[in-house]
Amino acid sequence: SQTIHQWPATLVQPVGSPLSLECTVEGTSNPNLYWYRQAAGRGLQLLFYSVGIGQISSEVPQNLSASRPQDRQFILSSKKLLLSDSGFYLCAWKRFRGEKLLFGSGTQLSVL
């Protein structure tokens, strides 16, 4: 069966520190992968999506970046975190066009 793993579940980081969040999908190949961020009490903001290895589309120009080094691995990074980067980060995937989007369990990031 297909599953998505996202870690860590919670993270507290100081301002100016780097960030690396990892997401992996099992049981499928060539998934479409997504990173969303949700500020407290707000909606889901699409940050990045990828339809293949090395292919990254950025929706929000800021100090975050994403990479897809392997088919089923999606990484969200930052060199220097800002207070405004705090939020609930969700990785998601779907197999192909017209398929449902499934979310990982999320990472609650607090930047202090």
Partner 1 sequence: QQPVQSPQAVILREGEDAVINCSSSKALYSVHWYRQKHGEAPVFLMILLKGGEQKGHEKISASFNEKKQQSSLYLTASQLSYSGTYFCGTGDSNDYKLSFGAGTTVTVRA
Residues 85-104, mask of contacts with partner 1 (x by CB under 8 A): -----x------xxxxxxxx
Contact between 31 and partner 1 (CB under 8 A)? no
**Rounded Cα distance, 53 and 62, in Å:** 22
**Rounded Cα distance, 35 and 37, in Å:** 7
Q: Give the nearer residue to partner 1 in terms of CB position, either 61 or 97.
A: 97
User: Which residues have a Cβ under 8 Å from the Cβ of 2 and sit 6 or more positions away?
Assistant: 25, 26, 27, 28, 95, 102
Two structure tokens written together for 52: 């293949």
Residues 61-90, mask of contacts with partner 1 (x by CB under 8 A): -----------------------------x
Interacting residues toward partner 1 by CB under 8 A: 32, 34, 36, 42-46, 49, 51, 57, 59, 90, 97-106, 108
